[in-house]
Chains A and B, each alone.
Chain A
Amino acid sequence: MTAEPSPSVPDCLQLPAFRSISWQQWLPAQLASLPGRTIDLDTGDWSLSCRELDELLTALHAAGHDVHVVTTRCRNTLISATALGLTARLATHDHPAGEASADQQKRPESIAGLTVHRGTLRSGDHIETRGHLLIVGDVNPGGSASADGDVYVWGRLRGRAHAGRQGNGNAKIVALQLRPLQLRIAELVARGPDERPQPGLAEQACILDGAIAIEPASPPFAAQQP
């Protein structure tokens, strides 16, 4: 880290850790130190509604900056960002965005932590995490979940899921009811099965012989330590 007063990495605008002041007061001073035209936005713990985020983006746009990726630790902000059509990432509490990426450069195989999302992913919602992803709720048709590690759905998976986003072929997708539209593991893509799954049987998808296969979920389906 350089001796700059702002903790932000280059091309990344990080909102202050505590919401003590409104961003309208805080932003003008930061704009001068922003170099690039396209920037990443790290909203930290801020819970921003669709409208608040839209206002912030409009202010940034007026100053000549377009936001490319939004990183957040708050689920509401994540959904607001996806609703506005941005690429959004959920950072876990112990791994803020900056550190996690630095971590990954050091140990490319390592997967940082487990992100837990409570609630249903509805059509158009999209969640993307580094590490494993656990969704306590359903993934509805039109919704999608992707993770660098495994994707677990404690509910019905009826949308799309992508495990091992960075190319980890050992990643798997587990759901209490696996009825996806599409599954992806690493670079492989598979359409969901046409027939309905057996009720009351948790299933998992993983790569077997170079193709995605669905089988009953093996009991110790907790994340294996890398």
Chain B
Amino acid sequence: MTNSRTILICSGKGGVGKTTLTANLGIALAGQGARTVVLDADFGLRNLDLLLGLENRIVYTAQEVLAETCRLDQALVKHKQEPNLALLPAGNPRMLEWLKPEDMQTIAGMLSERFDYVLIDCPAGIEDGFKNAVAAAKEAIVITTPEVSAVRDADRVIGLLNTHGVSPVQLVLNRVRPKMMANQDMLAVDDVTDILALPLLGLVLEDEQVIVSTNRGEPLTLNGSASPAAKAYGNIASRLQGEDIPLMDPAKERRGIRARVRRLMQTKIF
């Protein structure tokens, strides 16, 4: 496909929400009608299949595709509720020993012939796993949280993406807590964009529903949940498709009492 987009989702630091963003963005893009595939490049610690609830459906992996012991469409796992979304699972961790950047390019090339969006879930760190993943990507989304260590690592990764010629690179700020930001207990949005100097693709509020959805293997964007994080992921997908949706303002989000009550009602207590 000529206008297929191959997007790397990376952060440098671990645990900031790469895999969660990949899963939710994949579902959201597929829900908007785009043929989407998510590729797990985290061979050492794979869990994108877990988040999508597809762990038990995996027969073949990227490893068999590369070894040509199966066809690509045999390895692709179609999502049960969202037929526009497919997953190409990571092979076993020992793949790391022989996988080369060219192999990732081969896989990404095959996928981009069939899909509008190829989302690559990058491993944490900047070692071989990152180098392999970045070789296959044309553009990137850097995700970070408003913490000094995460911002520092994101900055390092952005520098590396630039030297690898990946462009455009956009930013998603995850786990934003408006109240803490207002009290200056947390880095403000401006502080982060000031250092990283990237266009902001979206802000995602801290949301307990993310944990619930992760454990269930049902991404938030799947069931049209009205939780703030689900809305944010949907908006990110729309912006990626070129729609002009204004960014959420954390200060306003804090004030809405009605929003807070609604959030309280969504929290599944029972």
Contacts and interface: CB of A to CB of B under 8 A. Distances in A.
Contacts of B160: 50, 83, 124
Interface of B: 101, 131, 135, 152-153, 155-156, 158-160, 162-165, 195, 197
Among B152, B153, B155, B158, find the residue whose CB has the most chain A CB atoms closer than 10 A.
B155
B156 A123 contact: yes
- Which of A83, A120, A123, A125 has the most C-beta atoms of chain B within 10 angstroms of its own C-beta? A123
13 contacts: A49-B164, A51-B101, A51-B164, A79-B162, A83-B159, A120-B197, A122-B155, A122-B156, A123-B153, A123-B159, A124-B160, A140-B155, A158-B195
A48 to B, nearest CB: 10
Contacts of A158: 195
A79 to B, nearest CB: 5
Given A51-B135, A122-B162, A123-B159, 10 more contacts: A49-B164, A50-B163, A51-B164, A120-B197, A122-B158, A122-B159, A124-B156, A142-B155, A142-B156, A158-B195
| Interface of chain A: mostly helix, strand, loop or mixed | loop
- Max chain A C-beta neighbours (<10 A), residue from B153, B163, B165: B163
A192 interface: no
Interface size class of A (residues with CB under 8 A): 10 to 19
A84 to B, nearest CB: 10
B82 to A, nearest CB: 35
A138 B159 CA distance: 13
Contact of A76 (B156, B163, B197): B163
B270 to A, nearest CB: 46
